[in-house]
Amino acid sequence: MATTSDQFAAAPVNREPMLPTPYRIQRVKQETDDTFTLELVPADSAEGSSFAPGQFNMLYVYGVGEVPISISSDPSDAPLIQHTTRVVGTVTKAMRLVKRGDMLGIRGPFGTHWPVEGVVGHDVVIVAGGIGLAPLRPALYRLMAQREKYRKIVLLYGTRTPEDILYRHELEHWRGKFDLEIQVTVDRAACTWRGNVGVVTTMIPRAPFDPSNTAAFICGPEVMMRFTAMELQKRGVATERTYLSMERNMKCGVGLCGHCQYGPVFTCKDGPVFSYDQIVALLGRAEV
Amino acid sequence: MTIETLEPIIQATPFFQGLEERYIQLITGCAKNVRFAEGQVVFREGDAADQFYLIRSGLVSVQFMIPHRGLTTILTASEGEILGWSWLFPPYRWHFDARAPQPTHALAFDGKCLRGKCEEDHDLGYEIFKRFMQVVTERLESTRLQLLDLYGNNK
Amino acid sequence: MSAEPMSVGQYFIIESQHLEQLLAALRHRGYEVIGPTVCEGAIVYQPLTSIRDLPEGWADQQQAGRYRLRRRSDGALFGYVVGPHSWKKVLYRPLRRLWRAERNTKGFRIVPEDIGGTRYALLGVRACELHAIAIQDQVFLHGKYVDQDYKVQREGLFLVAINCTEPGGNCFCASMNTGPKATTGFDLALTELLREGRHCFLVEVGTERGAEILALVPHGDASDADKEAAAQAVADAAVHMGRSLDTQGIKDLLYRNYESPQWDTVAARCLSCANCTMVCPTCFCAKVEDTTDLAGGNAERWRRWDSCFTEDFSYIHGGSVRATTKSRYRQWLTHKLASWIDQFGRSGCVGCGRCITWCPVGIDITAEVRALRENDASSPASDSSRSPHDNRNA
């Protein structure tokens, strides 16, 4: 079983984790109606760092506050990073108003990562729900950078409506260029949509992978992840090779403030990427 | 294509797995190939529902015409999936529209005929209903997830 | 005064009138001494200027949801147990600025706060509190990320422990193996001896640093009778604890009783006031606050104590994960007595009883655990082993 922290050798741990590093906004892109991506590079002489797919940063907007957001860019572009997010509160609202050249504070990268190295030789099924595609995109880049090391790679992506499809051009590009099966579905659509309509779990029974030799990476709303894991299990995918990315309230990002606890695990340092087995007893429980 | 060549296809379909040989033959007797061109209507709301479909390739969109919103797709059925259970219960009429957004190839089953046979042979009826119950529960569960609007903004 | 060099593990006697010299020696060495004092009807930890600041002749009476001071018939300096303060307020300060940010033409500049500073000597640390400090050491020093401020404060800390001879009404350190005897983690450990007109302290040397300080204080050899008297008093305390908690299999007990009706029962009483977390010596949850001045030229980030009992502690995506008091009480108790073991290798509770004393409605965690055991869903095929998806055909 691949552990979620194996072969991770990115950010130096001895850098003071509570101090933000200044980064500069290089680009702001509106992805959909309510989702946008910030592209950042270390400011001036600040030192950036590499990251592993699935990790997150704490992003600080001067005078407003800080939020945890997964990194959504290609790890090989580091120290350049991208963060894709929606406006969900005060800080993200302020973030939506930043412009090229503005400065943000970045702490991180923190957390465990998708075990891309650990699942070499397997089929890889990636199931993304809504904005859950963002933390999975770095994993897709890593998989495609070493395409020959994996067998089948399948991306199942479900979102609300066709207008909410993220990274549309990239998906088309990947579909064409790489040996990657991409199936997209939406919860509802106008009749102009010629593709699948229905929840993403309905695509699992017939997706082209061999369950006996498959690893799965799942990211999206918690309910979607639970049902997805269940469908995969029904099809025979090993639970110890099924990985989810969890989300909880975070304040410090380094396991010292207690907020992100999920049962006995800290989402910020024991996660956010967990193997299904690690958290199965907690998943169905209310208010844990 | 003759009816004889449809039997192995039906036999190999997961939906009909486990059925006795004589039932497979019976069902094959109720089946025929159909094709829909891109954009073609498969059935309309209110039409007599005397058939159900097993999609063999392509896609069929289940749609509602909603005033002010237009034609909205709430579900699609793709390869290997079953479409249609309105033939099972009165008034035997479709509750929604269906169109093929892509060229689609399917098997159409004569629901009226199969209904009669199920009334005569309750064992067959049980097998058919058991399988359709599965489809209905799966659709219901999916619909519930769609209803939750999980990707929405939690307002 | 003993002329031989002192070593760790040796015992000596300090007469009560010489205790003032201990304070003087510590101050001379640059420590600010913090110890128990009477303030507003409670015994709290504050800076000491002299031995006269100690609660001489005071005792405390503690029951569930009740705390009163009463006068003793003797002049004991340490004749009480623990009050609402714990030593975490020294090492892990309730409010601390982490950094300032100054706006400039290029954006902003982060100015980190200095760490460390004053060196503290803690006088009168109970055995349970030594364990609480060790537990917080594990959180802040031995994880993947180290709290540098805690580290510096901790390295400079001088600990004078006091062995309890009169356990409190809510104490259960014996159940948690955290007392009443101070066994490790101190520089000096005192046991107060008051009998036959004599008032003195048996001192155990815990570290070289402790020996160095003791060398500056008038002291004599400890007789066997003294050592025995002290040992007896502490051993007596161990069997007169106010409460007890059965820790047998407690982690699994709590993990398999997430759905126990007992949580609803306690939730009906719990006010979610967070007192228990404030007084608990091991609770470490904190929040981070970003502030700015009106003109926006300066922004600051502060760390402040927080509590898992607050309603928005677990807020995410428009709502709290733990929206009910029941879920929050369950979180606190399960974390303290069970998850903590998975996280840090030992229980998070040291049996000091503060949460019982300071709960306005007198919730007693020893009673809660007892109730959970009585209502235990204890068969092997119980909740925790069942898949959460078993009942999904609703």
> Where are chain C's structural domains?
11-238, 250-378
Last residue of a domain, which of A94, A110, A126?
A: A110
Contact C318 B155 (CB under 8 A): yes
The SS3 call for residue B110 is strand
Residues A150 and A260 in one domain: yes
pLDDT at C386 > cutoff 60: no
Q: How far away is chain B from the Cα of A161, in angstroms, using its nearest Cα?
A: 9
For residue B59, the model assigns a pLDDT of 96
Closest-CA residue to B59 (of B13, B103, B109): B103
Rounded to 5 degrees, what angle do the CA atoms A109, A115, A116 make?
100
Show the low-confidence residues of chain A (pLDDT under 70): 1-15
Last residue of a domain, which of A110, A128, A146?
A: A110
Look up the CATH number of the domain holding residue B106: 2.60.120.10
Structural domain boundaries, residue B130: 3-147
Q: Does A182 touch chain C (CB under 8 A)?
A: no
- The label of the residue with tokens 């929606």 reads A86
Number of domains in chain A: 2
Contact A195 B153 (CB under 8 A): no
Residue range C74-124, pLDDT digits in tens? 999 999 999 999 999 999 999 999 999 999 999 999 999 998 789 999 999
What span, in angstroms and rounded, lies between the C-alpha atoms of C344 and C136? Answer: 10
Residue range C289-301, pLDDT digits in tens? 999 988 888 999 9
Show which of residues 204-233 on chain A sit within 8 Å of chain B, judged by CB atoms: 205-206, 220-221, 223-224, 227
Residues A138 and A45 in one domain: no
Query: Mutate which of C136, C256, C321, C322 to test chain A, going by most A C-beta atoms within 10 A?
Result: C321
Contact C319 B153 (CB under 8 A): no
Contact A280 C285 (CB under 8 A): no
Residues A64 and A140 in one domain: no
Residue range C218-256, pLDDT digits in tens? 999 999 999 999 999 999 999 999 999 999 999 999 999
Model pTM? 0.90
Q: Which residues of C touch B137 (CB under 8 A)?
A: 393
Show which of residues 3-42 on chain A sit within 8 Å of chain C, judged by CB atoms: 13, 16-20, 22, 24
Cβ-contact C277, C309 below 8 angstroms: yes
Cβ-contact C288, A64 below 8 angstroms: no
Residue-wise over B81-105: b if at least 16 C-beta within 10 A, else e?
A: bbbbbbbbeeeebbebbbbbbbebe
Residue range B24-83, pLDDT digits in tens? 999 999 999 999 999 999 999 999 999 999 999 999 999 988 888 888 999 999 999 999
Q: Which residues of A touch C147 (CB under 8 A)?
A: 256
Residues A130 and A199 in one domain: yes
Residues A260 and A126 in one domain: yes
For residue A104, the model assigns a pLDDT of 97
Cβ-contact B60, A197 below 8 angstroms: no
Q: Is residue A123 part of a domain?
A: yes
Look up the CATH number of the domain holding residue A248: 3.40.50.80
Residues A26 and A152 in one domain: no
Q: Are strands A261-262 and B82-83 parallel, antiparallel or unpaired?
A: unpaired
Of the candidates A44, A63, A252, which has its C-beta nearest C299's C-beta? A63
Q: How far away is chain A from the Cα of B151, in angstroms, using its nearest Cα?
A: 5
What span, in angstroms and rounded, lies between the C-alpha atoms of A142 and A140? Answer: 5
Q: How far away is chain C from the Cα of B11, in angstroms, using its nearest Cα?
A: 29
Q: Is residue B154 part of a domain?
A: no
User: Residue C337 carries which DSSP code?
Assistant: I
Structural domain boundaries, residue A204: 117-283
Look up the CATH number of the domain holding residue A25: 2.40.30.10
What span, in angstroms and rounded, lies between the C-alpha atoms of B59 and B38? Answer: 9
Of the candidates A129, A198, A206, which has its C-beta nearest B150's C-beta? A129
For residue A8, the model assigns a pLDDT of 38
Q: Is residue B152 part of a domain?
A: no
Cβ-contact A149, A175 below 8 angstroms: no
Bridge partners, A83 (sequence order): A38
Instruction: Give the tokens for residue C154.
Output: 């901790």
Closest-CA residue to C191 (of C220, C234, C223, C225): C234
Contact B76 A185 (CB under 8 A): yes
Using alpha carbons, list the distances in angstroms from residue B86 to A199, B120, B134.
22, 20, 15
What span, in angstroms and rounded, lies between the C-alpha atoms of C160 and C209? Answer: 11
What span, in angstroms and rounded, lies between the C-alpha atoms of A60 and A64? Answer: 8
Of the candidates A248, A263, A286, which has its C-beta nearest C316's C-beta? A248
- The label of the residue with tokens 């990315």 reads A245
Q: How far away is chain A from the Cα of B155, in angstroms, using its nearest Cα?
A: 10
Average pLDDT over residues C167-181: 96
Contact A257 C108 (CB under 8 A): no
Residues A207 and A127 in one domain: yes
The residue of chain B nearest to residue A201, with distances taken between CA atoms, is: B142
Q: Does A175 touch chain C (CB under 8 A)?
A: no
Residues A131 and A268 in one domain: yes
Q: Which residues of B touch A184 (CB under 8 A)?
A: none
For residue C115, the model assigns a pLDDT of 86
Mean pLDDT of chain C, nearest integer: 93
Write phi, then psi, for C351 (nearest 5 degrees).
Answer: 70, 25
Contact B154 C393 (CB under 8 A): no
pLDDT at C2 > cutoff 70: no
Query: Mutate which of A5, A45, A62, A201 to test chain C, going by most C C-beta atoms within 10 A?
Result: A62
For residue C384, the model assigns a pLDDT of 47
Q: Is residue B153 part of a domain?
A: no
For residue C159, the model assigns a pLDDT of 98
Of the candidates A65, A264, A283, which has its C-beta nearest C339's C-beta? A264
How far does Cα A56 stand from its chain's mean position? 9
Instruction: Give the tokens for residue A32.
Output: 């959909």
Last residue of a domain, which of A110, A140, A159?
A: A110
Number of domains in chain B: 1
For residue B152, the model assigns a pLDDT of 82
Instruction: Give the tokens for residue A226.
Output: 């639970």
Of the candidates A131, A159, A193, which has its C-beta nearest B73's C-beta? A193
Chains with 3 or more CB pairs closer than 8 angstroms to C?
Answer: A, B
pLDDT at C134 > cutoff 90: yes
What span, in angstroms and rounded, lies between the C-alpha atoms of A249 and C310? Answer: 13
In sequence order, which residues have a C-beta less than 8 Å from that of residue C52 and are 6 or more positions away? none
The residue of chain B nearest to residue C394, with distances taken between CA atoms, is: B141
Q: Is residue A122 part of a domain?
A: yes
Cβ-contact A24, C107 below 8 angstroms: yes
Cβ-contact B99, B39 below 8 angstroms: yes
Q: How far away is chain B from the Cα of C317, in angstroms, using its nearest Cα?
A: 7
What span, in angstroms and rounded, lies between the C-alpha atoms of C89 and C87? Answer: 5
Contact C106 A263 (CB under 8 A): no
